[in-house]
Structure 1
Amino acid sequence: MEKLVREESRNRTAVQEFILEGFPAVQHLGSVLLLVHLLAYLASITGSTLIITITWVDHRLHTPMYFLLTSFSFLECCFISTVIPKLLFIFLSGRQKISFAACFTQSFVFLFLGATIFFLMAVLSLDRYLAICKPLHYPTIMNLRVCFLLVTVCSVLGFFFMVIPVIMLSQLSFCGPHVIPHFFCDIGALIHLSCSDTRSTEMMAFGFTSLIILSSLIITIIAYSNIAVTITRLPSAKERQKAFSTCSSHLIVLSLMYGSCVFIYVKPRQRSRLDSNREATLVNTVVTPLLNPVIYTLRNKQVHQALREALSRLKLQK
């Protein structure tokens, strides 16, 4: 009896590392995929870093909106860096193995930063709502201290909501198979690999991810609905057209981000549609991080002016 228990214990902890399957259907295009993902990653990091730098050096951009956008850009840099460098390494070397500890660390950091970004997206929507719909009250409600507090609360909530499912997941047994049908350690794929009873972990992950995504989505929809109503009441047709152009760009990115995450996470059975989750995750880790710096900040006239002045100062120094 004791021998059987020891053997069962060894079998239940047999998996010491996982293999990231990546994109088996297009594995022959490894060099092309490496180049595409590398360029997208560098462009996203460059755009976000540029936003952070310009906001930091130009005192005119030391406002609540730009503080929130800078925080958002920093989180996005960290978010994509938890996944894309490992994916690039797989394309480059062909080594798809990842240790048990590294896998769960990647899963937690990805979920924690993703949850924090969703909470911050809701805060950004509320900030725009106050600025456009309540301009007289905006200076008294939003200041740098309030913004810092809001970003801190978003981070704490993101950590709290995501640490519990990952801890529960790490307590499960993994006795094989050890191939993850994804390009990173996604919680749904890991749940699928466990040989334990995963119902409680699966429902906990579903409940927390659904709460985060849907609560942020509802706040964003309410905020932008009020913004749309306010814009329609603007007296100038030129002002209405400009405002709708800006909002429509925001809504395209929001639709991509929320749509892909609802498709991936807002479903009680994580075992379903694992293959299609790969393509949907690429939207969040490659497409939206590439668009966000351009749409949220780099199209802004204040940022354009700050960039021109910074470039002029650099030319003068040379």
Structure 2
Amino acid sequence: MNLLPDPDVLDPYSEEPVQLTSEKVRWRARDATYLAGKWDALSERIPRFVVDDFKATADGPANPHIRTVVRLPASVTEQRIPVGVVSKTYRLAQHADVVEMCLKGIRAHNIDPSVLRCEVGLTPLGEWMNFRAYFPENFSHNPSDGNKLALRLECFNSVDGSSRLVILFGWFRFICTNGLIIGETKASLRDTHDENLNLEVIPEIISEGLAKVKADLARLRQWEQSSIESSTFDVWVDDHLAERWGKKAACRALHICRSGADVELLDPFAGGKPSEKPIKLLNDVPGADERLEWQGHIPGLIENLRDHLKPA
């Protein structure tokens, strides 16, 4: 795997306040790219939207059942452009407003958000956003293998009504782009964009998550001091994990844990247990559309596996 840059440090040779990263993800068959920098600079790149009547012509009647979400021009050369159709009960949550509520919760813990490295992932029209904020060194875990785990706040928001607003804490390992959600540090909000959506609860959720960081750090140290027999782990993957995630995903997880690299199933329809399936070793671990949902499964899976752990 390629070593990723330390999120606490921007490129020292760049004079740009915002830098384009090499990371790309797919969201609903659309490419999303990431910018890195401080929030004050990144916020200027985030588009704003309005909810408008859904009409065939400017002077025509509005559809009484649905409305449309429209991206506002970000410059004099742009025009308004529709990005989605939503119900009458839909409530728009502006990307920047969601982030500001997150930062309000961070400030409550005497952390200055203006010094944090942040990242913003956006689809081409900006209807989907993934915001990330990386916390200072004293929030990090330094395992014996030298690959530091940093605490990261993640926020996912879409303005076209296609997915929920999600806010959570996780641990980011510098040797890959995938995060890890464990135990207590899960300031979790998963809410639909309807009339009941309340952004005012976000600061409290952030504060509750930060208050549980110490418990997560203790749990990470405990895991590092434990080990598991390979054969026992294989049985757990073939049984519990396969039942939870399916055989294909369980097979991939098994080999990622063994080698740090993803695999491709040579025959997706081959029978047998996940540990028995014929595979081709790949170079690295790509992201997946199910990443966010699967990250949320990790605490429960580890809790199930914990009975098999033993002191190193």
Same fold (TM over 0.5): no
- Structure with the larger RCO, 1 or 2 (CA within 8 Å, 6+ apart): 1
Q: If the length of structure 2 is used for normalisation, what is the TM-score? A: 0.28
